[in-house]
């Protein structure tokens, strides 16, 4: 997918632009085959186990990504003085892909976690300057905790998956997490839940019950 996005797509755009300017002929560019891999999303239980064996800044990073949907590159750019407002429970997240900004809400448990991070003058909130700098500590903490070896991105994955399974519509999830394409969110994170009993929810809602009651009343009236 990365090679298609970073190589094939821009190359094809250049060729098409040249063709429209009558500098060459339109051509077809074959894309690399993409194998769809279902990644395991991080959960709050996983993050809590991770935080139990990590310093406040690294544990806070995992919780921040899970509860805001921030990419690790975005999280590592957070300026605690300019971007973070613990009183208002908000944080400005600068999108590393589009250059746009979004304001993320901070649940209370995240506010507490961020407040416990010891500030370092001139440093970003989570102290690490790059993903590579944080990766070694991340992997070591996962090993100490004895939990599944999930990546930074699995926390962002967990953000989308948890909201979708909680019934939040895909367009809202895309907006909250900074995705420009809701269809991408649905395709990537909208995994089916392997539970055939979920059909019970159709008849367990108040609306379904109200329809059933109305049908019963109508049948009784006709019988009378």
Model confidence over 60-102: pLDDT tens digits? 999 999 999 999 999 999 999 999 999 999 999 997 777 789 9
If asked whether residues 146 and 112 sit together in one domain, one would say yes
Q: Is this model's pTM higher than 0.95 or not? A: no
If asked whether residues 133 and 176 sit together in one domain, one would say yes
Measured between alpha carbons, how far is 167 from 69 in angstroms, rounded to an integer? 17
Whether the per-residue pLDDT at 211 is higher than 60: the answer is no
Average pLDDT, the chain: 84
If asked whether residues 50 and 27 sit together in one domain, one would say no
The reply to whether 220 falls in a domain is: no
If asked whether residues 65 and 173 sit together in one domain, one would say yes
Structural domain boundaries enclosing 151 = 44-189
Give helix 182-189 / helix 170-177 axis angle, nearest 10°. 100
Question: Which structure tokens are listed for 206?
Answer: 């108040």
Question: Which structure tokens are listed for 116?
Answer: 């416990």
If asked whether residues 52 and 127 sit together in one domain, one would say yes
* Higher-pLDDT residue of 6, 190: 190
If asked whether residues 75 and 142 sit together in one domain, one would say yes
Least confident of 6-20, 42-56, 71-85, 148-162: 6-20
In Å, how far are 66, 98, 176, 177, 179 from 172, measured between CA atoms? 16, 18, 6, 9, 10
If asked whether residues 98 and 28 sit together in one domain, one would say no
């Amino acid at each position: 997918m990365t090679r298609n996005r970073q190589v094939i797509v821009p190359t094809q755009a250049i060729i098409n632009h040249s063709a429209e300017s009558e500098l060459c002929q339109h051509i077809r560019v074959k894309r690399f085959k993409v194998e769809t891999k279902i990644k395991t999303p991080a959960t709050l239980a996983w993050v809590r186990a991770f935080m139990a064996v990590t310093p406040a800044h690294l544990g806070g990073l995992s919780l921040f990504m899970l509860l805001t949907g921030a990419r690790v590159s975005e999280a590592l750019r957070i300026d605690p003085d300019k971007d973070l407002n613990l009183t208002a429970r908000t944080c400005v997240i600068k999108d590393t892909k589009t250059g746009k900004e979004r304001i993320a809400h901070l649940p209370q448990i995240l506010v507490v976690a961020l407040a416990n991070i010891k500030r370092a003058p001139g440093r970003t909130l989570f102290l690490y300057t790059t993903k590579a700098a944080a990766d070694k500590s991340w992997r070591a903490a996962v090993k100490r905790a004895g939990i599944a070896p999930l990546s930074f991105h699995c926390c962002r994955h967990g953000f989308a998956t948890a909201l979708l399974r909680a019934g939040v519509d895909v367009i809202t999830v895309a907006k909250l997490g900074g995705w420009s394409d809701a269809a991408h969110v649905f395709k990537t994170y909208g995994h089916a839940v392997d539970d055939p009993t979920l059909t019970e929810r159709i008849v367990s809602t108040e609306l379904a019950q109200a329809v059933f009651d109305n049908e019963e009343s109508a049948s009784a009236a006709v019988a009378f």
